[in-house]
Structure 1
Amino acid sequence: MHSPPLKLLIAKGVILTEHTPVSKSSKRRTRVKLHLNTSINQNIFTACGAGYVTVNGQCFNQSIVVTPEQVFNDWNPQDFDALTEIHFAYLLTIRPEIILLGTGPRQRFPHPRLYHQLTAAGIGVESMDTPAACRTYNILMSEDRKVAAAILL
């Protein structure tokens, strides 16, 4: 049984809704469906859930990096514990203002030594759970910010 959608945020055409299926026999699971009310040709997260994200309707179940212009599916950390300086150096080549690191179902913080190259270059790194990273990316992208979302799946 599904509860009705709950509107979470509306900002500059971005509408975020959360659907929470509730079952007595299973844990609560949250799936976030994201919508953008505009026809611009930029990458947006349209949904995310356990083990996947959807960008412009295309589903991904491996770690990816998303910018307004490109989706990079060759970013290959398997999970948070596998992150190395090399994975963050890859993000340096994209040159965003800020990187949103989606760390999975819960927020985790990488050691600063892993991303020191980014901060030295003036690129901000923010860690958050994956649904928050997707929502934040959509908002910053709609404000024409040079943002990248690095999503661990």
Structure 2
Amino acid sequence: MTIALRRDEAGSGPIVERIEGGGFRTQEHYFADGVMLTPRRAETWAGTHDAAMLDRAAIGQLLAIWGEGLPEFIVLGTGSTQIFPSGALRRALESEGIGLEIMDSRAAARAWSVLRAEDREIAALLLPLA
């Protein structure tokens, strides 16, 4: 099943245009294994697909492509359903001043587009749909 998402042209950077085959299509690429998004780039996620296993070290991949400074918060898409990672992950990010919003990956892709249209300085990790 393919889900098309509309883009508000006020936003900049990579936007998820479609969810297809469990992965995510941006303007330029298809990410079958999940995607990391920043306002400036999209990269393939190379970590676990088990949201419950995510820890601060895993999120380090996303923050490594961020660049200077830190995002206001991270939108975490946990796949087909909302799954909460460990409380330790949330506490670690909050201690660095980074919020964490957790939802299923479909909702996270939509939230990413809306928040980027507002030029929010956020990052996203969207795990593939199983």
Q: TM-score range by the shorter chain?
A: 0.7 to 0.9
Q: Which consecutive segments of 4 or more residues in structure 1 shift more than 4 A?
A: none
Q: Map of 1:36-115 to 2, 5 A cutoff? A: 36-38=7-9, 42-93=13-64, 94=66, 95-115=70-90
Greater strand fraction, Structure 1 or Structure 2: 1
Q: Does 1:35 align with 2:10?
A: no
Change (3 A) 1:92 1:57: closer
Q: Scaled by the length of structure 1, what TM-score is found? A: 0.71
Q: Which has the larger radius of gyration?
A: 1
Residues 74 and 100 in structure 2, CA contact (< 8 A), matched pair in contact too = yes
Give 1:137's aligned residue. 112
Worse-matched range after superposition: 48-57 or 121-130? 48-57
* d(CA) in 1 for partners of 2:79, 2:103: 8
* d(CA) in 2 for partners of 1:135, 1:40: 13
Greater helix fraction, Structure 1 or Structure 2: 2
Q: Scaled by the length of structure 2, what TM-score is found? A: 0.82
Taking only aligned residues, the RMSD between alpha carbons, in angstroms, comes to: 2.1
* d(CA) in 2 for partners of 1:135, 1:31: 14
Change (3 A) 1:60 1:82: same
| Structure with higher RCO (Cα < 8 A, 6+ apart) | 2
Change (3 A) 1:101 1:41: closer
Residue 71 of structure 1 and its aligned partner are, at CA, apart by: 1.1
Letter in 2 for 1:106: T
Contiguous gaps of at least 5 residues in structure 1: 1-29
| Count of matched residue pairs | 124
Change (3 A) 1:82 1:41: same
Worse-matched range after superposition: 31-40 or 112-121? 31-40
Amino-acid identity (%): 31
SS across alignment from 1:53:
strand
* d(CA) in 1 for partners of 2:21, 2:56: 26
